[in-house]
Structure 1
Amino acid sequence: MTAPSHLQAALSDLLGDARLVAETLPDTDLKLWLIDADNMDRAFSPEETRRILEEPPYWSFCWASGLAMARFLAEHPQWVEGKRVLDFGAGSGVAGIAAAKAGAMEVVACDLDPVALAACQANAELNDVQLGYSTDFFAETDRFDLILVADVLYDRANLPLLDQFLTRGSQALVADSRVRDFQHPLYRRLGILEALTLPDLAEPWEFRRVSLYHAAR
């Protein structure tokens, strides 16, 4: 199976020898176009490092929080079944695709990066589901039953968004492995799930423990 040419070209611009491969995610029936693990098992040149930092190809990874969210929705489809769902900061689209597979009536993948949305579309096709696409969360109307948020709080500057999710959806489900002092009056922790980033970045064990938080207005 050959990766979509536009996505491969975007990745090659950053890492000339990097290749996208279709990988089945562990303990799921989902597949994603991910950067080949062999490409990560080498030293990067200073120029490659600069490019990665300036324009990280985050859409070519399945981050631990996204994998945990996808597994949770597969095991608990009642969270999304028959509902309108928005996947905020969608990246690869894994959470939104899982929602669609679990029976959501509508799923919109929302990401600022048009390349990420192209990855979402390619991954949706890989999993035989249909998504809608948006580059501007705040341009969306308040019509969603659930906002999915996976691996967005890695930057603490994004914490104020916790208040904004409920302006576009009646509920929010947040998966995060980075914020250790998570405190918000509207969000309660549902539990802790274990997952890893793919390809495996050999992250510390603490980042493989994903907390799931829920808020409703």
Structure 2
Amino acid sequence: MTKDKLIKNIQKTLSKGDVAITQPAGCKALSLYLFNPEVLEGPLSHDEAQAVVAEPAYWSFCWASGQALASYILQHPELVAGKNVLDFGAGSAIVAIAAAKAGANKAIACDIDPDALDAANANASLNNVEVVVSEDLEQCLGDIDVIVAADVLYDPENMPFLKRFKQAASLIILADSRVKNLGDEAYELQQVITCRTWPDLNEFEEFNQVRIYHAAGER
């Protein structure tokens, strides 16, 4: 997957959009193709702003929770080493890439956005690891030991996944900066990490506090 393909993908919503190789401040061990803010020479046009809101290129930013979780996994490789790991809602796939770097038997980046899967392939190659990409969650859950997920609970409709994850894996590692009460006591807080989205979106400070949770699954 080439940089040119990613540029074409981001230009679906931003006509002058560009990507550049960068190391997120919260996980400098990994490199990613992310949105290049240097191309913005003023406010977005109305049409571009509407397009960005309607179809945001989530994969072109490395969100705080993704960086924090990737860094956490690199610091605790024993959690994923030799195991089949699913990165749910992968976006840039930084967490799947971290799992592969930490010695996972298989690292899968699962996302419903085909542009995110393009980014996952490109970013995996950039970091010299192999990541399997898929948009089919149910197919992915067939043989998984560990599920990792970062900032997937911003949509309340995703909350049922907390239960589904426990049914599908032996360990779930969750990072979230948006929801302070998960409503599921199986998910135990492990650590709070301060991190900022990269490139920086100047989000509210509360969204820069990433909570890392573990839950034991049923498999």
**Runs of at least 5 residues in structure 1 that lack an aligned partner in the other structure:** none
| Aligned twin of 2:77 | 77
Identify the residue that residue 210 of structure 1 maps to in structure 2: 210
1:31-52 per-position Cα deviation (integer Å, ceiling 9, x unaligned): 0000012246742221111111
Aligned CA RMSD, in angstroms, stands at 1.6
What TM-score comes out, normalization by structure 1 length?
A: 0.94
Q: What corresponds to 1:108 in structure 2? A: 108
Q: CA deviation at 1:171?
A: 1.3
List runs of 5+ in structure 2 lacking aligned partners: none
Q: State the alpha-carbon separation in 1 of the partners of residues 3 and 39 from structure 2.
A: 18
- The one-character-per-residue Cα deviations of 1:3-50 (angstroms, maximum 9, x if unpaired) are 621111111121111210000122521000000122467422211111
Q: How does 1:29-178 map to 2 (within 5 A)?
A: 29-39=29-39, 42-178=42-178
Contact 1:140-1:168 within 8 A present in 2 as well? no
Task: Describe the SS at the equivalent of 1:56.
Answer: coil
Aligned-pair identity in percent equals 41
Give deviations 1:77-127, integer Å, cap 9, x for gaps.
111111110000000000000111111111011011111001000000000
Distance 2:198 2:70 in 1: 13
Q: Which one-letter code corresponds to 2:115 in the other structure?
A: V
Q: Taking structure 1 as reference, are residues 183 and 116 closer, same or farther at Cα in structure 2, changes over 3 Å only? A: same
2:198 maps to amino acid: L
- Post-superposition CA distance 1:168-210 (Å, at most 9, x none): 2221111000002222032111111111101000011110100
TM-score (norm 2): 0.94
Task: Give the superposition deviation at 1:156.
Answer: 1.7
Aligned to 1:21: 20
What is the distance in 1 between the residues matched to 2:3 and 2:88?
23
Query: Which letter maps to 2:6?
Result: L
- 1:85/1:106 contact within 8 Å kept: yes
Query: What letter corresponds to residue 89 of structure 1 in structure 2?
Result: G
After superposition, the Cα gap between the structure-2 partners of 1:183 and 1:42, relative to the gap in structure 1 and judged at 3 Å, is farther
Equivalenced residues, count? 216
